[in-house]
C-alpha cells in the first residue's frame, strides 16, 4: 500500500533524522509525511466529508506546499525549523486521516481525486529519499540510511554502447486519458508530433565514461558547455557529479566505492548536455524518448520496492529504458497543445511550473515501481542534481 510504504521508509529514522533540512530545495522527512497527509485532509476530507474537523487547525499553515488558493503557509526554506510537532504526532495525524478517508473509499466520484493523492504521495516518497540522502551526505560521519552497508561490488556490468534506431515520422504523443489509466494533467492532451530519424542509446552513460570525461578536462572546456551552464559550474566550483569524493561516492548505504559500470547519477542538465557534446552526440527530446519507449515495460528495471535495502536505492544498471536514473531530455517543460489546468487549487499541481525547467523521462531507483510510464513528464530546473538524474544519449540519423 502506498501510505504504508511512506511510513516504512521513515521507520529507520530518529526524530532528529526526520526533522533536518539541508537546503531550500529539500524538505524534512517529517514534513513529507505530514504534507502528503494534508493533501488528503484538505482536498478529500475537508471538502467532501460532512462534519469533518481538522486534526489541528494550525497544521494547514505548516504543511501546505505551494497552493496559493489554500492561503499563507510556512516558508519553504524554514521547514527544518519545525522541531514540533514531533514525529510521533505526525504519524498519529496520518492514522487519523487514513481512518477518515476509508469512510469515503466507496465514493466513485472521489476515485480520481484519491488516485491523484496516492500518486502525489509516491512522488514524495522519492523526494523523501533524495532529500534524506542530501542531508546525510553533509554529516562528516557519512552515515548509512539504517541498513547494512553495501557490498564493494554491485550488480552492474559493462554493456557495449548500442542504439535503438527509429525512422521518425508522425507519432501520437501524450496520455490518451479515459480507459488508459491514471495520468497527471501535464501528460496530455495527446497530440501528434513529426520526428526526424534518430537513434537512442540502449543504456545509460556509466561512471567509467563520466570519469573519462572528467579526466579529459570536460569541466574545464568552455566549448562543451551552454553559456548558463559554464557560468554555473564556475560559480559553484564543480568538477564532478554530486556525491563523488575521488574514487568514492556517498550513497544511502554510506560512502562506497564508485562502481565503474553503473549508471552515473546526480548530474544536472548542464552537465548532461556538456557530456553529450563531448561524446559527439546529444540528448534526446522528450518526444523521441517516448516513441522509443513504446513497447517497453515501465515496471521493470531498478526501481523502489517495499522492503528494499539502502543499496537497492542505488543505480546498478537496467536493460530497458526505465529504472536506475531519471534521464534528462533537451525539451523544455511546456504545456502540450490544448492543455488546461484543472479547476480549483489542484490545478496548481503542475501547470504553474511550466517555465524555466527541463523534462526528464523514465524512472529512478527511488521511484516507486509502477508509478512511471512512457508519457510521464518529470521536470526540474537545469542546475538541479540532488535527484537520481542521469544521461541517455541520442543522435540524428
52-84, pLDDT tens digit by residue? 999 999 999 999 998 888 899 999 999 999 999
What is the residue range of 350's domain?
A: 163-396
Cα(168)–Cα(357) distance, rounded to whole angstroms?
A: 26
The CA distance from 294 to 304, in Å, is 22
pLDDT digits 0-9 by tens, 184-195? 999 999 999 999
Tell me the mean pLDDT in the region 363-375: 96
Band the pLDDT of 139: cuts 50, 70, 90.
very high
pLDDT at 345 (0 to 100) = 67
Residue 317 in this model has a pLDDT that exceeds 80: yes
Whether residue 280 sits in one domain with residue 375: yes
Residues 366, 378 contacting (CB under 8 angstroms): no
The average pLDDT across 338-349 equals: 76
* Residue 144 covered by a domain: no
- Domain annotation covers residue 343: yes
| Residue 113 domain flag | yes
Residues 190 and 88 occupy one common structural domain: no
Among 36, 83, 38, smallest CA distance to 60 is for: 38
Residue 153 inside a domain? The answer is: no
Would strands 394-396 and 198-201 be described as parallel, antiparallel, or unpaired? antiparallel
Peptide bond into 189 cis (omega under 30): yes
Question: How many independent structural domains does the chain possess?
Answer: 2
Quick one: CA torsion of 70, 73, 75, 78, rounded to 10 degrees? -130
- Give pairs for 7-10: CB < 8 Å, separation 24+: 7/33, 7/91, 7/94, 8/306, 8/307, 9/125, 9/128, 9/129, 10/87, 10/128
Q: What is the pLDDT of residue 178?
A: 67
**Domain membership flag for residue 65:** yes
What pLDDT was estimated at residue 211? 98
Mean pLDDT of 267-272: 98
Query: 99, 37 in Cβ contact below 8 A?
Result: no
Q: Are 77 and 97 in contact (CB under 8 A)?
A: no
Category of 297 on φ-ψ map: left (φ > 0), alpha (ψ -120 to 50) or beta: beta
Least-confidence region, from 287-291, 312-316, 386-390, 392-396:
312-316
Q: Does a structural domain hold residue 16? A: yes
- The pLDDT score that the predictor gives to residue 290 is 97
Q: Which three cell numbers stand for residue 302?
A: 531498478
Whether the per-residue pLDDT at 180 is higher than 80: the answer is no
Q: Is the pTM of this model over 0.85?
A: yes
- Residue 264 domain-assigned? yes
User: Do 191 and 260 reside in the same domain of the chain?
Assistant: yes
Residue 308 pLDDT: 80
pLDDT at 159: 77
The pLDDT, as a whole number, for residue 82 is: 96
Q: Is-contact 224 282, C-beta < 8 A?
A: no
Q: Are residues 182 and 123 in the same domain?
A: no
Q: What is the mean pLDDT of residues 213-218?
A: 98
Amino acid at each position: 500500500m502506498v501510505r504504508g510504504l511512506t511510513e516504512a521508509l521513515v521507520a529507520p529514522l530518529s526524530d532528529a533524522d526526520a526533522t533536518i533540512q539541508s537546503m531550500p530545495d529539500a524538505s524534512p522527512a517529517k514534513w513529507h509525511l505530514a504534507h502528503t497527509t494534508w493533501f488528503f485532509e484538505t482536498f478529500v476530507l475537508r471538502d467532501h466529508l460532512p462534519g469533518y474537523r481538522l486534526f489541528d487547525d494550525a497544521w494547514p499553515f505548516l504543511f501546505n506546499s505551494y497552493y496559493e488558493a489554500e492561503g499563507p503557509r510556512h516558508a519553504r526554506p524554514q521547514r527544518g525549523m519545525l522541531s514540533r510537532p514531533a514525529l510521533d504526532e505526525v504519524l498519529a495525524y496520518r492514522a487519523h486521516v487514513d481512518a477518515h478517508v476509508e469512510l469515503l473509499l466507496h465514493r466513485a466520484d472521489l476515485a480520481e481525486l484519491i488516485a491523484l493523492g496516492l500518486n502525489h504521495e509516491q512522488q514524495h516518497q522519492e523526494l523523501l529519499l533524495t532529500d534524506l540522502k542530501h542531508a546525510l551526505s553533509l554529516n562528516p560521519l557519512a552515515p548509512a540510511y539504517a541498513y547494512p552497508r553495501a557490498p564493494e561490488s554491485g550488480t552492474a556490468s559493462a554493456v557495449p554502447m548500442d542504439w535503438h534506431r527509429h525512422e521518425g515520422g508522425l507519432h501520437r504523443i501524450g496520455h490518451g486519458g479515459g480507459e488508459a489509466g491514471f495520468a497527471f494533467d501535464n501528460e496530455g492532451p495527446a497530440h501528434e508530433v513529426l520526428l526526424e530519424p534518430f537513434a537512442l542509446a540502449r543504456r545509460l552513460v556509466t561512471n567509467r565514461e563520466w570519469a573519462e570525461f572528467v579526466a579529459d578536462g570536460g569541466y574545464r572546456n568552455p566549448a562543451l558547455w551552454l553559456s548558463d551552464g559554464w557560468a554555473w559550474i564556475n560559480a559553484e566550483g564543480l568538477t564532478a557529479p554530486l556525491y563523488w569524493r575521488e574514487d568514492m561516492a556517498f550513497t544511502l548505504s554510506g560512502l562506497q566505492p564508485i562502481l565503474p559500470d553503473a549508471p552515473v547519477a546526480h548530474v544536472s542538465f548542464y552537465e548532461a548536455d556538456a557530456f553529450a557534446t563531448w561524446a559527439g552526440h546529444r540528448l534526446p527530446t522528450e518526444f523521441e524518448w517516448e516513441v522509443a519507449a513504446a513497447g517497453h515495460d515501465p515496471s521493470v528495471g531498478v526501481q523502489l520496492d517495499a522492503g528494499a535495502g539502502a543499496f537497492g536505492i542505488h543505480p546498478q544498471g537496467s536493460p530497458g529504458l526505465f529504472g536506475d536514473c531519471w534521464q534528462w531530455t533537451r525539451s523544455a517543460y511546456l504545456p502540450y497543445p490544448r492543455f488546461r489546468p484543472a479547476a480549483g487549487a489542484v490545478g496548481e499541481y503542475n501547470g504553474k511550473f511550466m517555465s524555466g525547467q527541463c523534462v526528464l523521462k523514465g524512472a529512478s531507483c527511488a521511484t516507486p515501481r509502477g508509478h512511471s510510464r512512457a508519457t510521464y513528464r518529470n521536470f526540474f530546473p537545469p542546475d538541479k542534481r540532488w535527484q537520481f538524474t542521469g544521461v541517455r544519449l541520442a543522435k540524428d540519423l
